[in-house]
Amino acid sequence: MHSPPHVLLHLCCGPCGTHAVETLRPDHKVTLFFSNSNIAPKAEYDLRLRHARKLVGIYGVPMIEDTYDHDEWLEQVKGYEGEPERGARCTQCFVFNLCRAAKHVQAHGFDSFTTTLTVSPHKDTETIFGVGRGLGPFLAVDFKKNNGFNRSVELSAKHRLYRQDYCGCEFSQQARADADAARA
């Protein structure tokens, strides 16, 4: 009997992982890869990690926790701090996180890797695909399709997973705070 391909799923957070795991599992063996050095402050990272671990319990899939190194991530995005969301800073962030996933795939014999980042309507899927394809055996799945974002919201509520209101980095958090202040 042929075993399904083993995919390493870069997991940005538990909520985005819900729909992605459901989508991949019929045809793939899935291992989660929590690699998010972009998340700040550390308390936010820890909260998202706790809910990623909760996802492991819900779906019964293994998860690898990458080393958190926010300083290294800041070096990756240096000079792009003022870029808008969906801009060059985000692309550098994708490069950082997906490069770590690709290295793990190469070192540990996975068939491919992909990312939950494509479930977000705030992330440019084609940019993510371009970055991923340039790094190795990337499985290009647009998790927004088939109402994926709304499904992730529904599943997050069902499983009581923490849903954040910014991507994770301090620059995104500040942009959110500035927009909220402008509306007030």
- Percentage of the chain exceeding pLDDT 70: 99
Q: In this structure, are residues 98 and 73 in contact, taking their beta carbons and an 8 Å threshold?
A: no
User: Given pLDDT bands bounded at 50, 70 and 90, which one contains residue 65?
Assistant: very high
Helix (H) or strand (E) holding 10: strand 6-11
In sequence order, what are the residues at sequence separation of 6 or more whose Cβ sits closer than 8 angstroms to the Cβ of residue 59?
17, 18, 21, 25
Place of tokens 């009997």: 1
Domains of the chain: 6-183 (3.40.50.620)
Residue type, 91: T
Q: What is the mean pLDDT of residues 73-92?
A: 94
Task: Choose the weakest-confidence range: 3-7, 48-52, 68-72, 84-88.
Answer: 84-88
Give residue-wise pLDDT tens across range 103-122. Answer: 999 999 999 999 999 999 98
Main-chain dihedrals φ then ψ at residue 127, nearest 5 degrees: -65, -45
